[in-house]
Amino acid sequence: MRYFLVLLLCYRPIFYEDRVQAVYDSLDSTSLKELFAFYTLYKETKTAEGAFDKAWNLINLHRPLPLEEYRNFTLPLVSLEAIIALTTTGSTSYSPNLSLSELKIIDRLGEFLGNRSLKGHLITSTNQTLELDAQEVDVARSILLHEFDFSNEEEKKKLLLYEASLDLMALQILAKLPKNPTYEQKLDAINHFIFHEMGYRFPPQSMWNNDQDLDIYTFLPSVMDSRHGVCLGVSILYMCLAQRIYLPLEIITPPGHIYLSFTQSDEVINIETTARGIHLPEEHYLTVNTKSLPRRTLKELVGMHFFNHAARSWQSKNYERAKELYLTAKDYIPTDPLIDTFLGFQHLFLGEKEKALKLFDRVKHSPDMHTIHQHTIVEDYLNGEVDEEGIKIAFSHVDERRESILEKQEQLQKILERYPKFRDGIFHLAITWLQLGRTKEALDTLSRYHEIDLYDPIVEYYLCILSIKRLQYHKAWQHYFILDKILSSSNHKIDAVEDLHDSLLQIYPYHL
């Protein structure tokens, strides 16, 4: 036994080297975090040297001029741990206590990334973003400057830490790519990294109780910390990374939504960030009232961040804060009628009626060119068909609980007793009936809307469907013909309406 132990001790280094080699062979050879983690764990072995060299080659692969190795001094162990922490799923709850000099090391690793050539990467205050041309905006820097004060050293470190994390994410994406990759290869790599390797997802119900909680997941730091985000939050993260890897993308905003798109020649690839980056055709986002989709600039994308933030304050009835945020959004998107509308509402709620009326007059004379039927609420207010309280009720939050639905329904019914021609109120009342499964009451309510306004395609579409459900086929055809006339006048065709026509023709063809 004694001689056996002596022999075992003599052969232990061999067994250990074999084990280390086995671990090394199992690594993803294009993963910076795995290679650096291996080097950190087995730094004293020859195999670890090879892991470091491979990682360093990946970092240099896309650089115009390679960096020389500086593993022993310039790249200290703490920076390797930071690289591992900042690029590992779920690890952003741990923030390494890096010094500014250590953050500069990570910045040096990413100095060749695409956002470094933008003037917006050098700004240190929010006002400087507004002075930039739209194509010069560094989205991450502009948004983070609104979260962290660059003149405060601790705040500055937080900002730089988030930027360092984005840089390392971009370096990891590039490590998966060959030299001089195509745009399609970049799209595949960024999609795989965000939605599969890092596991970004829409936040599950357990993480939020209402729209106010959900809005947190539009903020870039919250998205990065939690690995969860709504469409805007993940789209902002995606764009921050795309800017770093020289991937030109368009920003497209259907009503209440956002997605990104890549176009090359005749090929269009859309990126639906709420569904792991899959492609959905543009027609998927069109509705009976949406005939085209707005394209946004990088500066407008920053403004949308504040537009969503304002909605959160509005739901909390903090109208002063909501007003400030809509004003900030307006700085970035000065001619958006929806921002003018919502900003006008905040002025109304704060008793600033003259300011509200000035904005409403602008909305009235600047229709949304992407929709067929304009929002009616401003027109109804100007015509005396609703007051401030009615607007509050129309936009009040309702969840899926029956009690919440019934509470809003009661409030709407009361305001409609005073303002029976308040179209948005009638429409929202119909929606509450649908939420309760009461199709007859929903049909009757929308018929009231129809008597006031014959030009709303959404209402006519609902009336056609509900008439079919109630077996009122002759009435369904009447609403279909009105809908078809509205859409034809705008040269707008949509698959959902064509399917509705085919279904109705099959069910009740006697109109011929």
Closest CA to 476 of 458, 461, 493: 461
Give the model's confidence band at 121: pLDDT under 50 very low, under 70 low, under 90 confident, else very high.
very high
pLDDT at 102: 79
Using a 10 angstrom Cβ sphere, with 0-12 exposed, 13-18 middle and 19 or more buried, the burial of residue 440 is: exposed
Gap between the Cα atoms of 478 and 458, Å rounded: 15
* Segment 34-77, tens digit of pLDDT: 888 888 888 888 888 888 889 889 989 999 888 875 544 445 55
Closest CA to 138 of 106, 170, 179: 170
* Adjacency order of strands within the sheet including 259-264: 267-271, 259-264, 250-252, 295-296
Over its C-alpha atoms, the chain yields an Rg (Å, rounded) of 28
Contact 427, 449 (CB under 8 A): yes
Three-state secondary structure call for residue 298: helix
Gap between the Cα atoms of 486 and 497, Å rounded: 12
The residue assigned the tokens 């310039």 is 74
* Segment 447-491, tens digit of pLDDT: 999 999 999 999 999 999 999 999 999 999 999 999 999 999 999
pLDDT at 213: 56
Contact 359, 331 (CB under 8 A): no
CB atoms within 10 A of CB 301: 24
Question: Which residues, 6+ apart, have CB-to-CB distance to 17 below 8 Å?
Answer: 45, 46, 47
Gap between the Cα atoms of 337 and 365, Å rounded: 10
pLDDT at 98: 74
Query: How many angstroms from the chain centroid is the CA of residue 28?
Result: 30
- Burial letters for 442-466: b for 16+ Cβ neighbours within 10 Å, e otherwise? bbebbbbbbebbeebbbbbbbbbbb
Q: Who has greater pLDDT, 77 or 399?
A: 399
Q: What would the two tokens of residue 305 be?
A: 């961040």
Q: Does residue 342 have a pLDDT over 50? A: yes
pLDDT at 73: 41
Gap between the Cα atoms of 242 and 341, Å rounded: 32
Gap between the Cα atoms of 200 and 381, Å rounded: 42
Contact 300, 333 (CB under 8 A): yes
Contact 38, 48 (CB under 8 A): yes
Contact 132, 299 (CB under 8 A): yes
**What is the DSSP secondary-structure string of 146-165?**
HHS-TTSHHHHHHHHHHHHH
CB atoms within 10 A of CB 497: 20
pLDDT at 96: 60
| Distant-in-sequence contacts of 451-456, Cβ < 8 A, 24+ apart | 452/421, 452/423, 452/426, 453/376, 453/423, 454/482, 455/373, 455/486, 456/289, 456/373, 456/376, 456/423
Give the model's confidence band at 104: pLDDT under 50 very low, under 70 low, under 90 confident, else very high.
confident
pLDDT at 210: 52
Measured between alpha carbons, how far is residue 496 from residues 282, 461, 473, 483 in Å? 14, 10, 18, 12
Q: What would the two tokens of residue 294 be?
A: 């707005």
Contact 314, 155 (CB under 8 A): no
- Angle 468-472-475 (CA atoms, 0-180°, nearest 5)? 95
Q: Does residue 173 have a pLDDT over 90? A: yes
Sign of CA dihedral 399, 224, 159, 331: negative
pLDDT at 344: 97
Percentage of residues of the chain with pLDDT beyond 90: 66
Three-state secondary structure call for residue 333: coil
Question: Which residues, 6+ apart, have CB-to-CB distance to 76 below 8 Å?
Answer: 102, 105
